[in-house]
Amino acid sequence: MKNFLVIGLGEFGKSVAKTLYKNKATVLAIDSRESVIKQALSENIIDEAVILDATDEIALKNVVKDDFDTAFVSVGDNIQASILITLQLKELGLKNIICKAVNHTQEKVLYKIGATQVVFPEELMGEKVAYSVLRPTIIEYFKFAEDYFIYEVKVPKSYIGKSLMELNLRHKYEINILAIKHSDGKMNVTPDPNAKLSKDDLLVILSNTNVIDRIV
């Protein structure tokens, strides 16, 4: 099982830590504010946390050691701290460092000093809200590779009662159906190509962005 380090328990960091923990990952949260750590523990968002100034190189080194695969640096509002922490994590040998940023200048610096991914939570949220209005049949999506996304979509009306074999989506649009999620919450990752789709099903698909409008 992978071990994750989450530095900074603001809204973004708390959401990351909670999601990882709910999915049974091993998570260590770090924040310099005792009240924030106590609140996260009392809300059962995490079960392991340290009150620590992550800009303190020696203190951070004592905590990190060789135990973590991925670190989330979610102190983006404090640009100097995020840069310093990222640099120290890189020097400590972490291979995957995902950082929150507030502007693109900060993004450039973070990439140069070793961040493997830089995210803009507010920008992403705004994009998703706009996307949900433009394409209401799309429930969720995330980038998989350059120009390719994984989408969770409602079954279009024209697909209801038809099978994947009949729809032949892979041949028509060069997409892959990764799974079908049913109304009871169960996900079938090996869907029967002859099974009929119902109006309450959700399709999990891998698709090029150029064809998604033709699918949904």
Whether residue 104 is found in the same domain as residue 154: no
Boundary (domain end) residue, out of 120, 154, 185: 120
Share of the chain above pLDDT 70, in %: 92
Q: Is the pLDDT confidence value at 213 over 90?
A: no
Supply the CATH number for residue 207's domain.
3.30.70.1450
Label residue 141 by pLDDT band (50, 70, 90).
confident
pLDDT at 27: 92
Most confident of 21-30, 124-133, 140-149: 21-30
pLDDT at 28: 94
Supply the CATH number for residue 60's domain.
3.40.50.720
Distance of alpha carbon 114 from alpha carbon 25, whole angstroms: 24
Q: Which residues pair with 140 in a beta bridge?
A: 152
32 in a domain, yes or no?
Answer: yes
Whether residue 178 is found in the same domain as residue 145: yes
pLDDT at 86: 97
130 in a domain, yes or no?
Answer: no
Q: Is 106 helix (H, G, I), strand (E, B) or coil?
A: helix
Distance of alpha carbon 104 from alpha carbon 120, whole angstroms: 9
Whether residue 103 is found in the same domain as residue 201: no
104 in a domain, yes or no?
Answer: yes
Boundary (domain end) residue, out of 90, 120, 150: 120
Q: What is the pTM of this model?
A: 0.66
Label residue 106 by pLDDT band (50, 70, 90).
very high
94 in a domain, yes or no?
Answer: yes
Domain total in the chain: 2
User: Helices (DSSP H) in the chain: which residue ranges?
Assistant: 11-22, 34-42, 57-64, 79-91, 104-113, 121-134, 164-167, 169-173, 212-215
Q: Is the pLDDT confidence value at 33 over 90?
A: yes
Question: Bigger pLDDT: 38 or 211?
Answer: 38
Q: Is 108 helix (H, G, I), strand (E, B) or coil?
A: helix
Is 162 within 8 Å of 196 (Cβ atoms)?
yes
Q: What is the per-residue pLDDT across 158-170, written as a single tens digit (0 to 9) for each?
A: 899 999 999 988 8
87 in a domain, yes or no?
Answer: yes
Whether residue 13 is found in the same domain as residue 97: yes
Return mean pLDDT, the chain.
87
Whether residue 192 is found in the same domain as residue 162: yes
125 in a domain, yes or no?
Answer: no
pLDDT at 71: 95
- Taking residues 97-115, report their average pLDDT: 94
Paired sense of beta strands 138-145 and 49-51, if any: unpaired
Whether residue 88 is found in the same domain as residue 174: no
Distance of alpha carbon 207 from alpha carbon 188, whole angstroms: 19
Whether residue 106 is found in the same domain as residue 165: no
126 in a domain, yes or no?
Answer: no
128 in a domain, yes or no?
Answer: no
Whether residue 57 is found in the same domain as residue 103: yes
Q: Is the pLDDT confidence value at 123 over 80?
A: no
Give the closest residue to 107 by CA, choosing from 136, 127, 79.
79
Label residue 132 by pLDDT band (50, 70, 90).
low
Q: What is the per-residue pLDDT across 40-89, written as a single tens digit (0 to 9) for each?
A: 999 988 889 999 999 999 999 998 876 888 999 999 789 999 999 999 99
- According to DSSP, residue 116 is labeled S
Q: Which residues contact 100 (CB under 8 A, 6 or more apart)?
A: 8, 12, 13, 72, 73, 74, 75, 76, 82, 118, 119, 120, 121
Domain that holds residue 33: 3-120
- Taking residues 11-36, report their average pLDDT: 91
Is 205 within 8 Å of 151 (Cβ atoms)?
yes
Whether residue 113 is found in the same domain as residue 140: no
Share of the chain above pLDDT 90, in %: 46
Whether residue 76 is found in the same domain as residue 172: no
Is 53 within 8 Å of 29 (Cβ atoms)?
no
Whether residue 144 is found in the same domain as residue 98: no
